[in-house]
Structure 1
Amino acid sequence: MKIAIHQMNSGIDPAVNRAAMDIAIRSASNQGAHFYFAPEMSLLLDRNRERGRIHIQHESTNRHIAALCDTAREAHIWVHVGSVPVLSEDGSGRFANRTLLIDPAGQIVARYDKMHLFDVDLATGESWRESNAYAGGTHPVLAQSPLGPLGLTICYDMRFPDLYSRLAKAGARAFAMPAAFTVPTGKAHWHVLLRARAIESAAFVIAAAQSGGHEDGRETYGHSLVIDPWGEILLDMGDGEGLGFVEINLSRVDEVRAQVPVHLNRRVIPPLD
């Protein structure tokens, strides 16, 4: 199965970002891809939350989400939106960092809110407090897709292997891991973490990423990756924007799990005394 990965440099105007996604989705379909993957915060990347707030609405009233559904239907392709900020339905007034999976009929068939929020102080002086504005998701999501059961996760989630273990136990054969990784953490941890998640679960990892200097002043690492269940890197997009393609051999999951049957050998670990 051919999939397309869109490495983006999203900015502060959702209309501009959505136009770039629309072109990429149609191009992916025209080049024979069955699936399109975008990065985290594909529609809006703005660390100035007061400025960005005017663009953040409930999912049901967001015209850019509706337009992407129309594009998926017109191009007849599966679209993984990466993630978008939406108003949380919990009534708190906070946002949710939400993945949306759209089928070729233009229907949203799965959604996942990022569970682990990026609250860190880096040695470089960068400080991030995602929880100041965002409500964390409350449960993992496994979506049915042409790739088989697809685990939906977002960026910082990749540092928490228990989430991937839970999804793998539930049948995940691939993980979507869109990201807007910082440069310092990307250089140190990006490839290692993603390969580890693929190897320990014997599943494909599909990680579309933001790349470069952005309008809001941040810089992201890029290097969108597709990794097979053995941990082999099938695609590394390096720096810059663009559309990459990979042929996914779905039987590879069974081949690897037959060689190293981690799911059959897994034991329930009792509590510590």
Structure 2
Amino acid sequence: MSDLTGGSLSQNPPNADRHITTGGSDWLWAVFAVMALSTLFMVAWSYTLPRGTRFFHNIATLILATATISYFSMASDLGATPVLAEFSRGNTSTRQIWFVRYIQWFINFPLLLILLLFATGLSLSDILTTAFFSWIVVVCGLVGALTPSTYKWGYFVFGVLALFYVWSSLLGHGPRTTFNAGTSVRTGYVRGAGFVAFITMLYPIAWGCGEGGNVISPTGEMIWYGILDLILGPMFLFFFVFGLRNVDYGAFGFHSGKYSDGAYGSGGYGPGVGPNAGRSVGTGTKANV
């Protein structure tokens, strides 16, 4: 019971036999601080850019803001429910399952894919389909984690199969499209997509050791997922967005869809006229963003 003295665990006592410790809560507060500072920095960075050229920065801001709220909840020992573990460890029978984390992933995983795939020449329908399969990954993970019987591994398999579809879009279809923004963007995308595919491969392993097999403690689970979220969050987002800093934004083929912005998002001007004169507007199909 010494782990419950002071801090978040005393204000919000754990509701399961196997739960996070005070050290785990402290780690979560540290991750929360990194996420919060990263969100503020990304917001400030986006305001240094002209309006209409903040798409990638805004998506990154949404991801970081969602992670900030999620880690605040987990550090406060909120957003978890006790579930009977399939494999008990010692004299424990229930384990904390953090549904707030899956809410975070439900929002952030498709946004991360949109951030990456909008730099390619994939059609909007292909991008949305990939985002849908990322929802399947997260929902299957949540339902499996909440299932106390061996049937949880069926959801695990469904989730992994959906993840294979996501990887096929990132590593197969994406690189073969036409990159209107140039070869430098294609090179950056291939590196980023490979990195994201590798890191997302580690999440099912963590699930199998944590919510699935109950092998590692909830504190160990928090450390594992926290490191992965930090890598795919602040680390990757700032690296990817920074790599697009010198790219002509018009080459992505974006426009706002507002009548006042005109057909090319140029404040009512056509191509070769006004603020976008001399800039490539691209030939992509991903409009109205």
Q: Does TM, scored on the shorter chain, surpass 0.5?
A: no
Q: Normalising TM by the smaller chain, what interval?
A: under 0.3
More strand by share: 1
Structure 1 or 2, whichever has the larger Rg, is 2
TM-score, scaled relative to structure 2:
0.26
